[in-house]
Amino acid sequence: MAKATKDVIYGLYNDEEVLMKAVKVANEKHLEIMEVFTPFPVHGLDPLLGFEESRLHIGGFIYGSLGTMTAFLGMTWIFTKDWPVIFGGKPYWAVPSFIPITFELTVLFAAIGMVVTFYIVNGMGPGIKLPILDNRITDDKFCIAFDKAHIDASVAESFLKETGAEEVSSKII
Amino acid sequence: MSAPVSAIREPLITGSKTYHQITEDLVSPTEKAPGLSWIIAFSVAAALATFGVFCIAWTIWFGIGSWHLNRTIGWGWDITNFVWWIGIGHAGTLISAILLLFRQKWRTGVNRAAEAMTIFAVLCAALFPGIHVGRAWVVFYFFPYPNTRGPLWPNFNSPLLWDLFAISTYFTVSLLFWYTGLVPDFATVRDRARGIRKKIYHFLSFGWNGSAKHWQRWESISLVLAGLATPLVLSVHTIVSFDFATSVIPGWHTTIFPPYFVAGAIFSGFAMVLTLMLITRKILKLEDYITLAHIESMNKVILVTGTIVGVAYLTELFIAWYSGYVYEQFAFFNRALGPYWWSYFGMMFCNVISPQFFWSRKIRRNIVWTFFLSIVVNIGMWFERFVIIATTLARDYLPSSWSFYKPSWVEIGIFTGTIGIFFVLYLLFVRVAPVVAIAEVKSILKSSGDQYSGANAHHHHEEAVSTDNH
C-alpha cells in the first residue's frame, strides 16, 4: 500500500480526564486534532471530537432486511414454485412455520454484514498494519496526535505540554 | 466523566488497580509457561477428548446401533447431551448481550470467558445431531442448496431444520461478537510481545490501534450485536424446545416448553460459568477481577432461574392432572414413578431444591458452597433432559413397544469426550487470550474500582485531577 506519509507530533497523557480537558482546550483554541488514541472507549469523548453517531446500525438494518427477504422469499419460491410438497396437510405456503428460519437469517445477515462493514470502514483486517504511535496506547496511555502539515509544531508542542501531556514526541507514519 | 455510583455499591475491581496493573494482571497468564495444574488438567481433558473421538469413529463405522438405541427409544444420551450443551451455552450470551443492554457493570469481569464457554459448548452440542443421523458423511443434506437430487429441498416446516438454522446462526453470531470484543485485547497483547508472538498477535488483532473513531464504532457494533443476540438466544432454546413441543408425544406436546427451556438453559449455563470461573480465578489469581460480588450476582441468577424451572415442573404436573387427558397423566405418573424414577427425583432435587440454598447471603458468597452447588445444578439439568427424552419415549401409546434403554460404553464415551473437547478448548483459550476483557474492565475502573467506590474509597481521584489543574 503506497500511502502518503504523515509527520505527526503527539503527546501521551496518563489519565482520560486530563485528556478530555485537553481536547476541550484544543477545541477552544481551534487546533485541528488529527487523531485521539485510547486504551479503552472513553465516554464523552466523541462529541468533543465532533464525531457523528456511527451509522453502522443503519447498515445492520439493511443487511437484516436482506436476510428476512432471502429467507422468506426463498422458502416461498421453493415451496410454491420450485418443488411444492404437502407436509402434514399444511398449505404449500405455510407462513407461520417459515417464521423461525426467517428470524434466524435476519439476525445472521445483520450480524455478519455489520461485522464485515465494521472492519472495512475501520480499514482493519487479518494482518493489516495501522500506524501505532506508541506501544503503551493499548496499555495505559492516552494520546492526542497532530499532523504537522496542518499545525505549527511548536504550537502543538506547547499545547500538549500545557495541557498535561507527560511525553511529547514526533513520528513519521 | 465517571457516572455517579452509590457509595454502598460494592466495588467490582479490588486491589486499587491502575490501568497498567490491569494489563499486567490479565495479559501475563498468556505470557508465562503453563503451570503444573494446567498441564495435568489439559492432559486429562485431551485423554477424554481422544477417547471421545475414538467412540465417534466407532459410531460412524458400526452405526448408531452401537448406542443401544432401539425402535422405541430413538433419542437417548445423544439428544440429551445436545440439549444440555446448548443450554450451557446460553449463559455466555446472557452475560455478554442481555447484561450489556441492562448496563450491568459486573458482566465485564466474566463476559469474555462466558462467551468462550458459549462457543465451545455450542460446538460440542452441534456434534450430536451430526452423528446421531447415522450417515454422518451426508450430513450436508441438511442445508438447502441447489443440488442434483431434484433439486430436493429440506422441509422448512420441520422444527429439526429450524434448529439447524438456529444453532448455526447462534454459533456464528456468538463467534463474531466474541472475536470483535477480543480484537482490542489482542492488540494489547501484541504491543507487549516480541518476535513470533508479536507477529501472531499482529495478525489476530487486525491492526487495531485504539483510535477514538474505531472505539466509537466498536461500541456501536457491540451494542447492536447485543441487541441482535438477545432475541437470538431466546429463540435458540425456544426452537430446541419445538423439537419436542411440536410432536404429539404426551409429556412433550406442551406450550410451556419454550419459556421453561430458556429458563433452564440460563440456569445450567450460569452454573457452568461458575464452575469454570471459580477454577479460573483461583489458578490465574483473578480474585481482584472476579470478586465475591460477581459470584453473588451469578448465584442470584441461578436462584431466580432455578425457581422458574421449579414452577414449570409443578405447572406441568398440575396441567397434566387438570387436563383430564389420561395419556398426559400417565406420562407424568411414569416420569415420577416409572422405570426411570431416580432420574426424576435427581432432577427435582438438583434443580428445584438445591438452588434454594442461595436465599442465604452467606452461601451465595461462599466459594466452596457455590462450586459444589454449581456442579449439582449441572447434573440436575442433565437429568432434566434425560427425563424429558428417554423416560417419555420408553413408555409411549403402545404398551407392546414399551422398552428400556441403557447407554452403551460408546455413548458414554462420546459424552465424556465432549466434556474433554470442551475443556481442551477452554484450557487453550486461557493460554492464548486474556480471560477477562481488559479494555472493558479498564473502562469501569473509575466507577467500580475499590479506590474510587465502596467502603474503602479514598478519593485520590479528585486529588489527581486537582493537581493537574495547577
What CATH code is assigned to A7-39+140-172?
3.30.70.260
The grid coordinates listed for B203 are 495478525
Q: What is the pLDDT of residues B145-204, one digit of tens each?
A: 888 888 889 999 999 999 999 999 999 999 999 999 999 999 999 999 889 999 999 999
Q: How far is CA B108 from CA B64, B92, B104, B414, B440, in A?
A: 43, 12, 8, 34, 6
CB-based contact (8 Å) between B217 and chain A? yes
CB-based contact (8 Å) between A110 and chain B? yes
- Element at A172 (helix H, strand E): strand A167-172
Cα B135 to its chain centre, rounded Å, is 28
In whole angstroms, how large is the CA radius of gyration of chain B?
24
Q: What is the pLDDT of residues B93-145, one digit of tens each?
A: 888 888 888 888 888 888 999 999 999 999 999 999 999 988 889 888 888 98
pLDDT above 50 (res B423): yes
Could you say which DSSP state residue A15 is in?
-
> How many beta-carbon pairs under 8 angstroms link A with B?
202
Could you say which DSSP state residue B68 is in?
T
Burial of B275 (0-12, 13-18, 19+ CB in 10 A): buried
At residue B364, the pLDDT reads 92
B328 three-class SS: helix
Q: What distance in Å separates the CA atoms of residue A103 and residue B142, rounded to the nearest whole number?
A: 18
- Element at B155 (helix H, strand E): none
pLDDT category at B469 given cuts 50, 70, 90 is very low
Spatial contact of B410 and B72, defined as CB atoms under 8 Å apart: no
Could you say which DSSP state residue A10 is in?
E
Mean pLDDT of chain B: 89
Spatial contact of B434 and B189, defined as CB atoms under 8 Å apart: yes
pLDDT above 70 (res B2): no
Cell 457452568 belongs to B272
For chain B, the domains span 19-138+154-242+259-303+411-459
The region, left, alpha or beta by phi > 0 then psi within -120 to 50, assigned to residue B343 is alpha
Spatial contact of B261 and B238, defined as CB atoms under 8 Å apart: yes
> What is the DSSP track for B403-467?
------HHHHHHHHHHHHHHHHHHHHHHHHS-SS-HHHHHHHHHHHBTTTSSTT---HHHHHHHH
Find the DSSP H helices in B246-256.
Answer: none
User: In Å, how far is B150's CA from the nearest CA of chain A?
Assistant: 9
The grid coordinates listed for A65 are 432486511
A115 with B221: Cβ contact below 8 A: yes
Q: What is the pLDDT of residues A26-56, one digit of tens each?
A: 989 888 889 999 999 998 888 888 888 888 8
pLDDT above 70 (res A129): yes
Q: What is the pLDDT of residues B249-278, one digit of tens each?
A: 888 998 999 999 999 999 999 999 999 999
Q: What is the mean pLDDT of residues A155-168?
A: 89
Rounded to the nearest 5°, which phi and psi values hold at A10?
Answer: -140, 155
At residue A3, the pLDDT reads 61
Q: What distance in Å separates the CA atoms of residue A37 and residue B377, rounded to the nearest whole number?
A: 45
The neighbour count for residue B201, using CB atoms within 10 Å, is 21
pLDDT above 70 (res B456): no
Degrees, nearest 5: CA angle B29-B99-B311: 115
Report ipTM (2 d.p.). 0.93
At residue B466, the pLDDT reads 43
- Element at A58 (helix H, strand E): helix A56-77
pLDDT above 70 (res B4): no
CB-based contact (8 Å) between B363 and chain A? no
A13 three-class SS: strand
Q: Are strands A35-37 and A7-13 parallel, antiparallel or unpaired?
A: unpaired
At residue B450, the pLDDT reads 80
Name every chain B residue with its beta carbon within 8 A of the beta carbon of A10. none
Q: What is the mean pLDDT of residues B327-338?
A: 91
A115 with B151: Cβ contact below 8 A: no
CB-based contact (8 Å) between B467 and chain A? no
